[in-house]
A and B are shown apart, each in its own frame.
Chain A
């Protein structure tokens, strides 16, 4: 029976000398989902991907991929995954066609129908030498080679960099279909809008530590959002006070502002006792949440440093 988790890591840690790459990373990526792995440059995203690929060895901890140990069964693991780094470097003396033939042969791909289908959808230029291709066209080849053998898991590390918006949309569509067929994607990126667009769950990494991992909805629900209520008549001064999960910010005549964390229903129920003429409930995008996490952490760091 196939394991439920496509990627599972326990206290996965990598130090480069005294410098921390990642530390105590506990990942759980479920089969059939697109897991967004976000963080700014240098946060540890690529280190994580390279650990999962067994390109670098952990200082401590372990990772299991598709039920197999990432180190001991590295070759078997790689037979079932596709990989696309952000800075894809390939053999520049080969044409795209030759590169795909070589990769296909090593991977044991006999049916190339899917490979050509993906190449066509991405308008990949297969006849030209790779050395003459633009970064975006190289990246298209990278996508094709990562998907050509219909892997069970794809590791994308800043994969859409270099692709134009149309090709990005096409790639998202391909990944949607891939997920629909049961495929799993580990999607490392610092483009939050694309993570929001295609990912089911998100992990946020900062300074090598996973600080958050959940579904996008759950993350958004946990966030403090601003609620603005406009009443027909000025409501009582104690409206929205004493409600758990709700912090009243201000009241100015008929306008009441409050910060709501996880009790929107309670706030609306109390407001409904009066005549509400308008409601605004702030939408929190991943970018806001991400920045909030980073800002908070920065402040904490600053406070720790000054202490």
Chain B
């Protein structure tokens, strides 16, 4: 696992990756296990949902029915996955460059025959692979656990598309954090801005459903391209994931260019 920087980064992330994968998998298991009791509540829940304020519904993914499994899964679990993955993405993204400089290890790393662009690329590929491992674990747990619950069914292709969409969100948050890590003078500042961006994006997307004037600007927010309910119910499209991955690539390239050109901070 120490043959190159990519494998070393994967090695460093193995414990958080397992913790995230198993933790989120266990949460998925719990959510699915209690779904039958939700389904039984049926009409009462539907009625209660209708009376909830629009703002609340907007913040829980715009789901109108909890008695149908896909709506239940999205509102109780899938809608928050990008936010939870964003924590991992921001920690790794800001730590990759500025964090390593602040720890003082970047000097020694860059005394090795490895180009700065390679440092950015290998760390990014490793972390994106880690994110893929996490969503694969989650997807596998969801697939296996729904097979034991009669009322819950998920098509493999649609679940895979949702997981891709979730990964694309994680990738975007990671690459944006990496960009901040390359651009800003401290890891703390990069972390704060990364968190503000993530939470702000979530709120912005919810607000576009409530505030009429914001609706036309919804395409600017990343959560506009995270549509798990649409994928599960209607449109098996990869276009949204493509947009997110393209935006991730832009931030990744920007991070590499900025890191290539600037001074490495000493301790």
| Residues of A in contact with B (beta carbons under 8 Å apart) | 46, 50, 53-57, 74-76, 78-79, 81-83, 85, 87-91, 93-94, 98, 101-103, 105-108, 142, 145
In B74-126, the 8 Å CB interface with A consists of 103-105, 107-108, 110-115
B residues near A85, Cβ cutoff 8 Å: 107-108
Tell which of B1-9, B30-38, B247-255 binds the partner.
B1-9
Query: Which of B44-52, B140-148, B211-219, B259-267 binds A?
Result: B259-267
Q: Which residues on the A side are within 8 Å of B4 (C-beta)?
A: 105-106
User: Which residues on A sit within 8 Å (CB–CB) of B8?
Assistant: 102
Whether the Cβ atoms of A56 and B264 lie closer than 8 Å is yes
**10 pairs of residues in contact across A and B, judged by CB atoms under 8 Å:** A50-B264, A53-B107, A55-B107, A56-B263, A79-B113, A81-B111, A85-B107, A89-B103, A101-B2, A103-B112
Given contacts A56-B263, A106-B5, contact A78 B107 (CB under 8 A): no
CA gap between A101 and B4 in the complex, in Å: 10
Report the minimum CB–CB distance from A98 to chain B (whole Å): 6
Taken together as a complex, chains A and B put the C-alpha atoms of A264 and B107 apart, in Å, by 48
Of A55, A89, A102, the contact of B110 (CB 8 Å cutoff): A55
Closest residue of chain A to B262 (Cβ to Cβ) is A57
Q: Does B235 contact A (CB under 8 A)?
A: no
Least Cβ distance of B125 to chain A in Å? 16
* Interface-centre pick from B8, B111, B266 (highest chain A CB count, 10 A): B111
Does B151 touch A at the CB level, under 8 Å?
no
One of A50, A76, A93, A102 near B113 (C-beta < 8 A) = A76
From known contacts A57-B263, A89-B267, A105-B2, infer whether A75 and B113 are also in contact, taking CB-CB under 8 Å.
yes
Residue B157 at the A interface, CB < 8 A? no
Q: Specify which chain B residues have a CB less than 8 angstroms from the CB of A91 in the assembled complex.
A: 12, 105
**A-contacting residues of B (Cβ < 8 Å)?**
2-5, 8, 12, 103-105, 107-108, 110-115, 261-264, 266-267
The 6 closest A-B pairs by CB, nearest first: A89-B104, A83-B111, A79-B113, A102-B2, A56-B263, A55-B264
Q: Least Cβ distance of B128 to chain A in Å? A: 21
> Which B residues touch A142, using CB under 8 A?
108
Contacts of B105 in A (CB 8 A): 89-91
Give chain B residues whose Cβ lies under 8 Å from the Cβ of A83. 107-108, 111
Partner of A87, one of B262, B264, B267: B267
Pair B12/A93 contact, Cβ less than 8 Å: yes
Q: Is the CB of B263 within 8 A of A87?
A: no
Tell me whether A106 and B112 are in contact in the complex, defined as CB-CB below 8 angstroms, given that A55-B263, A56-B264, A87-B104 are known contacts.
yes
In chain A, what residue has the closest Cβ to B8?
A102
Which A residues touch B5, using CB under 8 A? Answer: 106
B113 contacts across to A, CB distance below 8 A: 75-76, 78-79, 106-108
Q: Considering the chains assembled together, what is the distance between the CA atoms of A101 and B113 in angstroms?
A: 15
When distances are taken between beta carbons in the complex, the residues of chain A under 8 Å from B111 are: 53, 78, 81-83
Complex: how many Å from CA A145 to CA B112? Answer: 10
B32 to chain A, nearest CB (A): 36
Establish whether residues A88 and B108, one from each chain, have CB atoms under 8 Å apart when the complex forms: yes
Give the chain A neighbours of B261 by CB distance below 8 A. 57
Judge whether B107 and A75 touch: CB under 8 Å.
no
Identity of the chain A residue whose Cβ is nearest the Cβ of B264 in the assembled complex: A55
- Tell me whether A107 and B108 are in contact in the complex, defined as CB-CB below 8 angstroms, given that A89-B103, A98-B2, A102-B8 are known contacts: no
B108 partner residues in chain A, CB cutoff 8 A: 83, 85, 88-90, 142, 145
Check A55 against B112 for contact (C-beta < 8 Å). no
Contact B114 A55 (CB under 8 A): no
